[in-house]
Amino acid sequence: MYLGDMHADSALAADCLAEGKKWLADNAAEAASELKRDPQLFRDRGWKFSRGYGVWSVVDDRYVSVVTRDYMDTNGAHSNTDINTFLWDQTEKNRISILPFFNETADNGETMNAMLEAVIASLKIEKKKRGASETATAEWFKGIEPKLTRIGAVVLAPSTEAGKSSGLTFHYPPYAVGPYVEGEYVAFVPWETLKPFLTPEGQRIFGGSRPKADAEER
């Protein structure tokens, strides 16, 4: 387990450590159960699991965007990766969602439909860079929906303006919006697209543009 860039906030580090230990314990228990059921599955080697926590952005010295990356090798055709995200409020010392930044986020509502449209537009650009088939791409997009629980793992994007966020990034592991060979995807939605739906707190924290280095490195 890796806790990158989090030691400055002891509460955040402790929260991640507790969650990570539970995740590893749950997977170890599953592996032990499978070993007992079918020892042949472990004849050549054991299963491997790892989890890493990394800071994606810090906005207003308050909102910390964290990306969790899980690695799992259960002796299949290849290993698997899963990606999740959460926001940490350094003032309240707990996890939050993006709800405080938007007037409404109802399933299939105006805000979520606008987000989904922007997400798909961003993913199409990324897929074109990788030479993905347009027909196959359309099929993969059916897996994401205009719902907070179905649109993708989301965090605040960094910005060229200090203390601000330039928008949202949505994170997808292999198999989420494309075949395994295409790898992971990150979709960027600029804050200007979301401006009509922002609460006063959302209007306060969003601004600037996405740094070029962020777009290139992600």
With vertex at residue 109, the alpha carbon angle to CA 107 and CA 112, rounded to the nearest 5 degrees, is: 80
Q: Say whether both 84 and 151 belong to one domain.
A: no
More confidently predicted of 197 and 3: 197
Share of the chain above pLDDT 90, in %: 74
65, 149: one domain:
no
In 3D space, the residue among 46, 53, 58 whose CA is nearest the CA of residue 15 turns out to be: 53
| Domain residue limits at 41 | 2-96
Looking at the fold, whether 106 and 30 belong to one and the same domain comes out as: no
Residue-wise pLDDT for 54-113, tens only, equals 999 999 999 999 999 999 988 777 788 999 999 999 999 999 999 999 999 999 999 999
What does the alpha-carbon distance between residue 57 and residue 55 come to, in Å, rounded to a whole number?
6
Q: Confidence band (pLDDT; 50, 70, 90) for 3?
A: low
Residues 141 and 209 in one domain: yes
Query: What CA–CA distance (Å, rounded) separates 118 from 137?
Result: 15
Query: Residue 2 above 60 pLDDT?
Result: no
Residues 7 and 106 in one domain: no
pLDDT at position 59: 97
105 and 54 in a common domain: no
User: Which residue, 96, 118, 105, 104, is CA-closest to 149?
Assistant: 105
The CATH number assigned to the domain holding 162 equals: 3.90.640.20
Count the domains in the chain.
2
pLDDT tens digit string along 102-113? 999 999 999 999
Determine the Cα–Cα distance for residues 171 and 186; give it in Å rounded to an integer.
5
State how far the Cα of 178 lies from the Cα of 90, in Å rounded to an integer: 35
- Calculate what percentage of the chain has a pLDDT beyond 70: 95
Residues 6 or more apart in contact with residue 145 via CB below 8 angstroms:
108, 116, 151
pLDDT of residue 9: 87
Give the strand order in the sheet containing 167-172: 153-157, 167-172, 185-190
Q: What is the pLDDT of residues 175-204, one digit of tens each?
A: 999 998 899 999 999 999 999 999 999 999
DSSP 3-state of 84: strand
CB 28 within 8 A of CB 50: no
Q: Please report the pLDDT score of residue 135 as a whole number.
A: 74
Residue-level pLDDT at 184: 94
Sign of CA pseudo-dihedral 34, 36, 37, 41: positive
| Same domain, residue pair 69 and 176 | no
Are 107 and 212 members of one domain?
Answer: yes
Residues 6 and 91 in one domain: yes
Residue that terminates a domain, selected from 67, 96, 125: 96
Do 151 and 70 lie in a common domain? no
Same domain, 88 and 130: no
Three-state DSSP class for 93? coil
> Domain boundary at 47, 81, 96, which?
96
Cross-strand partners of 50: 71
Name the more confident of 123 and 74.
123
Residue 31 belongs to a domain with what CATH number?
3.30.565.40
Regarding whether 104 and 69 lie in a shared domain, the answer is no
| pLDDT reported for residue 67 | 97
pLDDT at 5: 67
Task: Tell me 130's DSSP state.
Answer: T
Domain end, chosen from 70, 96, 122, is at 96
Q: How far apart are CA 54 and CA 51, in angstroms?
A: 10
In whole angstroms, give the CA distance from residue 64 to residue 61: 8
